[in-house]
Structure 1
Amino acid sequence: MSEPISRRELANAVRFLAIDAVEKAKSGHPGAPMGMADIAEVLWRDHLKHNPANPAWGDRDRFVLSNGHASMLLYALLHLTGYDLPLSELKNFRQLGSKTAGHPEVGHTPGVETTTGPLGQGLANAVGMALAEKLLAQQFNRPGFPVVDHRTWVFLGDGCLMEGISHEACSLAGVWGLDKLVCFYDDNGISIDGHVEGWFRDDTVARFRAYGWNVIGPLNGHNSRAIEEAIATARQGNGQPTLIVCRTTIGWGAPHKAGSHDVHGAPLGADESAATRSALGWPYGAFEVPEAIRQAWDGRTAGAAAEAGWNDLFARYRASFPELAGEYERRMAGGLPSDWADIRRRLVDRASDRQGAIATRKSSQNCLDLLVERVPELLGGSADLTGSNLTAGKTSRAWHNTPPEEVPNYLSYGVREFGMAAIINGVALHRGLVPYAGTFAVFSDYARNAIRMSALMQQRVVHVLTHDSIGLGEDGPTHQPIEHAASLRLIPGLDLWRPCDELETAVAWTLALERQDGPSALMLSRQNLPQYSAMAGKADDIRRGGYILAEGDGPLQAVIIATGSEVALAMQAQAELKAQGVAVRVVSMPCTQRFDRQPVAWKKQVLPSDVCRIAIEAGHPDLWHKYVGLDGEVLGIASFGASGPAAALYEHFGLTAGHLVQTVLRTIASSGGNDGDF
């Protein structure tokens, strides 16, 4: 009779798959996988609720590797438990086209819940996932029918806790009482530069207790029994998220490199790999895992049984609550309400009827009044600027003042722009809710890497960025975005909308919610703007991102391209030029990315190549040369702003209808056409 397989042997299978993959790639991070393998073995074999055959099962536990450089730990776990990640992919670690990228990528590798690597953001994503679970459970669960009942587990390291985003996200997790969030802190005392005591001496236990977390440990992260006991305590639930502090040795098992930064981000080397095999009694070749150990790791049977049990529960739930069941399935699938066409029509009709001057931030709130009421999956919020961003609709229910019998749909994130943006990424990744959140456009810099990550992960989130220009006035250059629109437009996959009025704002909102393959950002004005596209009835054209708002009389001599508040200046300039007998077309381009995706025929129709072009935007001018060509002109701002009334600032920076008229006439006189084409 063979000896039973020990937990250490099972953990060593993970260790050596990581060692061998990094060694073969000559690149990677073996230290953390070796150090956390014992924790992973207990969690993944005894506690994680998942089905390798169906990584998208809605009620699975979520596992987040926030210290994403330890990617081979996750890949080894996915491979061993039965996900569609064959050994050949582990052997192809970090190679072009493989499913085992240098850092885990959601949508690329089955079983990966979020893209991690920028430290701290995976932890913040996990807070969003746990938040989504709690809100959906409140909405859909009924006595005897816990159809939403899963946990979010996180591995994190020193780097995650050094990043400031960990404070923002974990503070909120404590406020929200996310007791199904359990985090394992790999407290190994090592980062790239060496022993962290030279730059990281926080009392982590006291810090997290101050957040309102349940803290367990420090404990020996290589003692399976201690880990098991800690998880059992965490599962009891006491209204608090849990941090389990695990003291580990980075590169555990490596005779000469364990406990040093030498094993953090480089292969062990052939000699040390061989020595580690000898030290740990692992007499197998590279990538070799004995069949008995493979069978002990295989999670497919248990996973299928877990999902089958949930399917039976949901079938009974459907019989008792058919409408709730249908709504849950719709939302988890990412579809919009069945009456979406009517909602969209009403938004457009309301906006088309709007008269008078109104700020687009207020236009956005007018849209939200209807959207929040009719699209129940919307989860709004703001970074302590609700009254300025106008992100709360009439039926928004803030977390901090919603009675227990109701489900909140609005969050005050406090002054935490980065944490907010990363948390809503986690909400979107979880599915079932569509998050949007607001701050000032200039503070998108704080959130930028999380905005970038939402684009990289192709997640449906909406960033509401108000006070979009020098038009905010007296707050001065610290609050006036100059380079921000241009900078955000450079993020691949992010649709940036800068609407000129309520109809463009309404169309932007509808397209942001309809979009399934990436995030959207709405840059909205503080100052009131006239209604132009609404009067022209251009809703269908707006959906193309750039369109002819107003045509000139007679043979066309120039095209003015404008966005947002500067559309009004373009329209004024067109009227003045018309009085001088100069025919000018006004093109509104609220979303350059969407315009760029249009057929060439549309782009040529809007921007003919034989007519000179002039662009105007109260921001950095560089991007607009792409549209006006070498012979065109751009009116913008290439310096920081200034403090003063908005009207005085526009005059000071030369963003006036009069200056635009002079620029158009000068460009026409000096150009025989336009050298740009599509």
Structure 2
Amino acid sequence: MNETIQNLETKAIDTVRILAADAVQKAESGHPGTAMSLAPMGHVLWTEAMNYSPKNHKWPNRDRFILSAGHACILQYSFLYLTGYDISMEDIKNFRQLHSKTAGHPEYDLLDGVEVTTGPLGQGFANGVGFAIAQKFLASRFNKPDFEIFDYNIFVICSDGDMMEGVSAEAASLAGNLKLGNMIYLYDDNHISIEGDTDITFRDNTAKRFESYGWHVQELDDGNDTEAIAKAIEKAKQEEDRPSLIKVRTHIAYGSPNKQDTAEAHGSPLGDDEVKLVKENFDFDPEEKFNVDDDVLEYYRQTGDKGAKKEKEWNQLFERYKEKYPELAQEYEQITEGKLPDGWRDKLPVFDSSEKIATRKASGKVLNAIAEYFPNLVGGSADLAPSTATNLDDYESFSFENWGGRNFHFGVREHAMGAILNGMALSDYLIPYGATFLIFSDYMRPPLRLASIMKISPIMVYTHDSIGLGEDGTTHQPVEQLAGLRSVPDLTLIRPADANETAQAWRIALEHTGGPLALVLTRQGLPVINQEKYTKATALEKGAYILSEADNEPDIILIGTGSEVHLLLEAQMKLKDEEISARVVSMPSWELFEKQDKDYKEKVFPVSIRKRLAVEAASPFGWCKYVTDEGDVLGIERYGESAPGEEILKEYGFSVENVIKKAKALL
């Protein structure tokens, strides 16, 4: 490298460091130190290592960049601005301010170039595995000789904190087992956390740990050596059979005379006086703020322009691909445009009322009935496929020997499964689903919350949904989980009452956008509701519907979800014998019901009918909204115990006789 270019590179890197210090200082909050130390690493990524197109942040074959150390987001914002994305200097100046695109941690769909919302440490690390799985699947399905349509890599910057999080260990273990050689992770080893030096809690030999996971590991001693970083990345690209970790020793707040290598620089502004000292240290004017010289901006914009050329070449390749493989090209375009295949709804099974079947088993039948129509429907479970009935019987497993397999084995890693599903969903092609028992949804709460924030739509299949699962006992019997999941904004929960509602729940799930969707299913067998006698399950899309109307003006409304609905139908008949008129409402989804208009809500729950009884084998929390002050809830406010399912349900009051008793007490 000649001296002029080397000097310009140094100036460019130092400009990024100072932008980070200025932005955090103006915001009076943030994390300047990590961004300052990562500037050389970011420089190599955006000028040499990554393929990207600032004018089209959705270019399908772009390399994906994830800042798992999301607290350092001003680094990402700075490079997005400098290389020509849709972000201005005003956006940089408005860092962390109300309605700004430059939020305090990177947010998907808020700013072009941000692939995934990160911040909770470890999530971005695990998301990257999902991104990598998606690339392997796409390449397997679409790449042909002389047509490497999808050959992008996943680049992730992660921190000491990411390495401490359990979800990272789960995801790293799975990635090594799958031999995902398209992952290049740069570990910012700065030895600092908020409480001080990391050795107060963290003395792992991280390199050896990742080698044991099956990763290719390189260690660099100097985070400012851009040439060494570039060589390490290039070497990682050649490693096709193992994910790569590049451990880079950095110094937090590099260039700050008084704050470098201190915990104070991690999560607080440096202070006006210290920022001036930083600028003097790098030979910048200490009085100028947010300064980017023309030569630096031109240098970075030229590197961004290279991506436009690469995208143009890819577009030309794809046009030739469309001529040679029109059906595959059409499939890809239709799916990424959000179009569903023709005829698939006709394949949804209709179950006969003579059957008795667990909704988990009905779900498995639905999945297998429609799988051929959805080549992008892929998923699996956290080591529970036989129990959750989520295996696609006619398809093979995804592995390093078969990147096109549609059945995924996540292992006993519920937390990582959730985060990986988020990464898969962000491919714009895959419809991913993941399954476990409802009780273990607690292990998945962080990725569920992030999916809701991003409004992406992975499908969660939660089986063994109540004390009705029986003998596994207290630890496995969910009580508070439904209430917890319903509290998550933009998460849609459906608890179907029988096999036919389950089929319709899958229809809704596949058509759904705007947030994750959870299907909550039984272990125990349930009667199939007679659709000739009662309202058809297609009404499920309303969230709540009148399943069985009273012969006369109702004295009471019986409301239920899932396995408890059949109790209400039996209770309705016996109440009728006592000249009590009851309306039965199946309410599988509060969230879908809340989307209906006022007239429909009034039709189902007239203001004039105040006597209402909700029945659900779970915490009654939240039901007060629907039962009114003259109603009641038959729920559970203690934990379960080990016993056959039918016995424990009866013990806890979930019987026709007790429903009748509760209803009559209200009247």
Place the TM-score, normalised by the shorter chain, in its bin: over 0.9
Unaligned stretches of 5+ residues in structure 1: 669-678
Superposition pairs for residues 295-310 of structure 1, below 5 Å? 295-298=298-301, 299-310=303-314
RMSD across aligned C-alpha pairs, in angstroms? 1.4
Residue 6 (structure 1) shift: 3.1
SS at match of 1:63: strand
Residue 219 (structure 1) shift: 3.1
Deviations 1:191-226 (A, max 9, x none): 000001010011100000011100011331111111
Q: Which residue of 1 aligns with 2:290?
A: 287
Alpha-carbon spacing, 1:355–1:148, altered in 2? closer, same or farther (3 Å): farther
Instruction: Return the alpha-carbon distance in structure 2 between the equivalents of residues 396 and 557 of structure 1.
Output: 52
Superposition pairs for residues 442-521 of structure 1, below 5 Å? 442-521=439-518
Instruction: Return the alpha-carbon distance in structure 2 between the equivalents of residues 373 and 238 of structure 1.
Output: 31
Q: Report the AA paired with residue 291 of structure 1.
A: D
Q: Which residue of 1 aligns with 2:72?
A: 70
Instruction: Return the alpha-carbon distance in structure 2 between the equivalents of residues 174 and 453 of structure 1.
Output: 25
Instruction: Return the alpha-carbon distance in structure 2 between the equivalents of residues 335 and 427 of structure 1.
Output: 18
Contact persistence 2:456–2:514 (CA under 8 A)? yes
Q: Which residue of 1 aligns with 2:661?
A: 662
Instruction: Return the alpha-carbon distance in structure 2 between the equivalents of residues 421 and 2 of structure 1.
Output: 49
Superposition pairs for residues 87-486 of structure 1, below 5 Å? 87-283=89-285, 285-298=288-301, 299-337=303-341, 339=342, 342-347=343-348, 350-353=349-352, 355-400=354-399, 404=402, 407-486=404-483
Instruction: Return the alpha-carbon distance in structure 1 between the equivalents of residues 436 and 615 of structure 2.
Output: 24
Instruction: Return the alpha-carbon distance in structure 2 between the equivalents of residues 304 and 29 of structure 1.
Output: 32
Deviations 1:361-409 (A, max 9, x none): 0010011012222211011110000110110122232125x964x7200
Instruction: Return the alpha-carbon distance in structure 2 between the equivalents of residues 542 and 468 of structure 1.
Output: 19
Residue 81 (structure 1) shift: 0.6
Deviations 1:583-615 (A, max 9, x none): 100000001100011001111101111111110
Contact persistence 1:533–1:549 (CA under 8 A)? no
SS at match of 1:264: helix
Aligned length: 661
> Which of 554, 567, 570 is the equivalent residue of 2:568?
570
Instruction: Return the alpha-carbon distance in structure 1 between the equivalents of residues 500 and 541 of structure 2.
Output: 11
Instruction: Return the alpha-carbon distance in structure 2 between the equivalents of residues 203 and 372 of structure 1.
Output: 44
Q: Which residue of 2 aligns with 1:541?
A: 539
Instruction: Return the alpha-carbon distance in structure 1 between the equivalents of residues 298 and 439 of structure 2.
Output: 54
- Further displaced range: 480-489 or 448-457: 448-457
Q: Report the AA paired with residue 274 of structure 2.
A: E
Normalised TM-score (structure 2): 0.97
Q: Report the AA paired with residue 48 of structure 2.
A: D
Q: Which residue of 1 aligns with 2:595?
A: 597
Deviations 1:608-632 (A, max 9, x none): 1111111000000021111001111
Residue 353 (structure 1) shift: 4.0
Deviations 1:442-490 (A, max 9, x none): 0000111111111111111100000000000010010000000111000
SS at match of 1:565: helix
Instruction: Return the alpha-carbon distance in structure 2 between the equivalents of residues 29 and 38 of structure 1.
Output: 17
Residue 352 (structure 1) shift: 4.7
Instruction: Return the alpha-carbon distance in structure 2 between the equivalents of residues 109 and 354 of structure 1.
Output: 51
SS at match of 2:29: coil
Unaligned stretches of 5+ residues in structure 2: none
Contact persistence 2:34–2:266 (CA under 8 A)? yes
Contact persistence 2:49–2:230 (CA under 8 A)? no
Instruction: Return the alpha-carbon distance in structure 2 between the equivalents of residues 17 and 538 of structure 1.
Output: 61
Instruction: Return the alpha-carbon distance in structure 1 between the equivalents of residues 219 and 410 of structure 2.
Output: 29
SS at match of 1:329: helix
Alpha-carbon spacing, 1:97–1:351, altered in 2? closer, same or farther (3 Å): same
Alpha-carbon spacing, 1:403–1:39, altered in 2? closer, same or farther (3 Å): closer
Q: Report the AA paired with residue 573 of structure 1.
A: A
Contact persistence 2:131–2:154 (CA under 8 A)? yes
Residue 523 (structure 1) shift: 0.6
Q: Report the AA paired with residue 296 of structure 2.
A: I
Instruction: Return the alpha-carbon distance in structure 1 between the equivalents of residues 110 and 255 of structure 2.
Output: 31
Q: Which residue of 2 aligns with 1:613?
A: 612
Q: Which residue of 2 aligns with 1:672?
A: none
SS at match of 1:398: coil
Q: Which residue of 1 aligns with 2:522?
A: 525
Deviations 1:271-291 (A, max 9, x none): 100001111112261111000
SS at match of 1:430: coil
Residue 80 (structure 1) shift: 0.5
Deviations 1:158-202 (A, max 9, x none): 111100000110111111111111000000000000001010011
SS at match of 1:422: helix
Instruction: Return the alpha-carbon distance in structure 1 between the equivalents of residues 647 and 535 of structure 2.
Output: 32
Q: Report the AA paired with residue 398 of structure 2.
A: W
Instruction: Return the alpha-carbon distance in structure 2 between the equivalents of residues 322 and 58 of structure 1.
Output: 18
Deviations 1:221-262 (A, max 9, x none): 111111011011011123001000000000001000000101
Contact persistence 2:392–2:407 (CA under 8 A)? no
SS at match of 2:379: strand
Instruction: Return the alpha-carbon distance in structure 2 between the equivalents of residues 151 and 659 of structure 1.
Output: 59
Deviations 1:297-334 (A, max 9, x none): 11442121010000011011111111111112222333
Alpha-carbon spacing, 1:505–1:533, altered in 2? closer, same or farther (3 Å): farther
Residue 650 (structure 1) shift: 1.2
Q: Report the AA paired with residue 252 of structure 1.
A: Y
Instruction: Return the alpha-carbon distance in structure 2 between the equivalents of residues 354 and 277 of structure 1.
Output: 76
Residue 354 (structure 1) shift: 5.7
Instruction: Return the alpha-carbon distance in structure 1 between the equivalents of residues 240 and 260 of structure 2.
Output: 37
Q: Report the AA paired with residue 241 of structure 2.
A: G
Instruction: Return the alpha-carbon distance in structure 1 between the equivalents of residues 154 and 57 of structure 2.
Output: 15
SS at match of 1:438: strand
Q: Report the AA paired with residue 414 of structure 1.
A: G
Contact persistence 2:8–2:296 (CA under 8 A)? no
Instruction: Return the alpha-carbon distance in structure 1 between the equivalents of residues 50 and 436 of structure 2.
Output: 36
Contact persistence 1:21–1:90 (CA under 8 A)? yes
Instruction: Return the alpha-carbon distance in structure 2 between the equivalents of residues 433 and 211 of structure 1.
Output: 26
Normalised TM-score (structure 1): 0.96
Q: Report the AA paired with residue 303 of structure 1.
A: G
Contact persistence 1:503–1:533 (CA under 8 A)? no
Residue 2 (structure 1) shift: 11
Instruction: Return the alpha-carbon distance in structure 1 between the equivalents of residues 337 and 239 of structure 2.
Output: 29
SS at match of 2:151: coil
Residue 134 (structure 1) shift: 0.6
Instruction: Return the alpha-carbon distance in structure 1 between the equivalents of residues 515 and 162 of structure 2.
Output: 25
Instruction: Return the alpha-carbon distance in structure 1 between the equivalents of residues 361 and 538 of structure 2.
Output: 22
